[in-house]
Amino acid sequence: MASFDLAAALANHSHRWLVTGAAGFIGSHLVEQLLKAGQRVVGLDNFITGKQANLDDAVAKAGQGAASKFTFIKGDITSLETCHQACAGIDFVLHQAALGSVPRSLADPLASHRNNVDGFINMLVAARDAKVKRFVYASSSSVYGDEPTLPKIEARAGRLLSPYAATKHVNEIYASVFQKSYGLETVGLRYFNVFGPRQDPNGPYAAVIPKWMALLFAGQPCELNGDGTTSRDFCFVLNAVQANLRGALAQGADVSDTVYNVAVGDKTSLTQLYGFIRDRVAKTRPEVRDLAPRHLPFRPGDIKDSQADISRARDRLGYAPTHTVAQGLELTVFPGAV
């Protein structure tokens, strides 16, 4: 059942979903889309990186009556008790909670391990005990490490380049072990540079797209790591939402106990990306049209190029990106249409 009508699957069945990291960037979009589909949603977040404003925006955009179907728990996945509380009565877990960022993990590997590994196994145990139907979790393209071949395929990886990548690799191992040992169905999603509205532009570990947008709207120059040829498979957030929901609902003997690339299947250089963003910002701030970025040294722990092969997600989940990079950037710079 690789291809199925996702909207119909949601419309025909009401489930109870847990979204961890619900106040974060991707988590809040999952909350919004599930509530729009009439589903019952529990959100869990500790607000270390998530924001109440994200949740408020998500619930408001979900429409009238959405708030009555949403329950929020302020808590931390490093507490097994909290994880058990959050998983009670849940059908599907969409686990997004983590400390992201390669540089953050290099600066504080213990914090990354505590949240991304200890917290992850707490969630697996709680989901197993609650007998949830499926546990879908956020992995990362960072697990490919220094493997140079493009596009990236799930079966081939290189040496890991950061503590963050190591935590996500461990997540994938534990998820597979829990399916084999306890029968908990698990699906891992290797995100490739997801972007979109609500992504935080502030702080030392901010992603490049919201950071550049904020600087350009302020008329300030941007900093670009490397010579600009570094490339990424940038993926609009609604593509990632689709992958999560399909990962939870797709049927088939080969759907679970595996990982999937979540991307568009293309690559964009940082120089190209900067030009795309600058040209869109210049529609309202024409003075930045000729503003050039300042180049910095290549950032330690980063890979040079990244592009995904999305055929496994397409074949097994029915995943098909609905937004290109250009379309996603238009909706990110001018988010009123999302």
Query: Would you please indicate which residues are annotated as catalytic (active-site) residues?
Result: 164
Question: Rounded to whole angstroms, how far apart are CA atoms 102 and 132?
Answer: 31
Contacts (Cβ under 8 Å, ≥6 apart) of 291: 216, 219, 221, 222, 278
